[in-house]
Amino acid sequence: MKLLHLYHDIMNLYGDYANISALTRIFGNSSIDCTVDKRSLADEVDLRPYDFIYIGSGTEKNRNVVMADMQKYKEALREKRDSGTPILLTGNAFEMLGQSVTDAAGTAHEGLGLYDFTVTEQNKTRTTSDAILTASFSDKPLVGFINKCSEIEGIHSPLFTVQMGLGNNSHDKYEGLHDHCLFGTHLTGPVLIKNPHFLIYLAQQIAGEKASISVEYLTYENAAYQISLHELQQRKESTTVH
């Protein structure tokens, strides 16, 4: 498998790099050949050979620098998505795929235009929350943390339903973006470490249905997930007004 970690150094704000570590390990333990290419701003990459593309979260300024740089991949990325290549974007990375990002000063930055949605940011209040999210592709919910300052309007195919946490905007209980095998979510950091079931699902998507994926080693990961889910559910119940 050829994995591409794009903007690995500038879009790595919440330990996002660990998602690539998790995939490398699961393929290693499954005896599936796996190479990782880390590329960033100065590089010009041919996306076509890759079986998986990942981008993590960045500061708003860094994300805008990356978004301008990514214009060169616009068509190639569209082709990868349409051909069903798994793509994972965590934190504010998927915000780049819309029409525009309007920053706190009111300046609109051009998006990649793969989708019709628009993003509006402010710089007064950080919008953060622990999260429990459910998805059609998973029988178990995902847990994690959302850390953003934006509202997104116009996403028609979200990834998750929010059980606890934040939606794409303040009046929406749907989170993220899902299209073909592209997964965009505001969940930050090591999403694949925190959610071993999502790691297994994604590894299967990358390696193909017939691949045999080893899952036995995920003992601590599963225990950590169960405890986090329990803690969050308890928190959700204690803060829900009956």
Name residue 47's amino acid: L
Q: Which of residues 52-91 bind another protein (CB under 8 A)?
A: 59-62, 65
| C-beta of 63 vs 81, nearer to another protein | 63
| C-beta of 4 vs 11, nearer to another protein | 11
Task: Measure the CA–CA gap between 101 and 49, rounded to whole angstroms.
Answer: 30
86 contacts 206 by C-beta, under 8 angstroms: yes
| C-beta of 9 vs 82, nearer to another protein | 9
Instruction: Tell me the longest C-alpha to C-alpha distance in the chain.
Output: 55
Task: Measure the CA–CA gap between 107 and 96, rounded to whole angstroms.
Answer: 15
The first and second tokens of residue 87, run together, are 């793509």
Please tell me whether residue 195 binds another protein under the rule CB under 8 A: no
Q: Which of residues 130-189 bind another protein (CB under 8 A)?
A: 130, 143-145, 147, 149, 188-189
For another protein (CB under 8 A), the number of binding residues is 40
The count of residues in the chain is 242
Q: Which of 71, 72, 235, 237 binds another protein (CB under 8 A)?
A: 235
202 contacts 86 by C-beta, under 8 angstroms: yes
Ramachandran angles phi, psi of 74, nearest 5°:
-50, -55
Please tell me whether residue 123 binds another protein under the rule CB under 8 A: yes
Task: Measure the CA–CA gap between 138 and 193, rounded to whole angstroms.
Answer: 16
| C-beta of 29 vs 100, nearer to another protein | 29
Query: In the complex, which residues of this chain contact another protein (CB under 8 A)?
Result: 9-10, 12-15, 17-18, 21, 25, 41-42, 59-62, 65, 123, 126, 128, 130, 143-145, 147, 149, 188-190, 193-194, 220-221, 223-224, 227-228, 231-232, 235
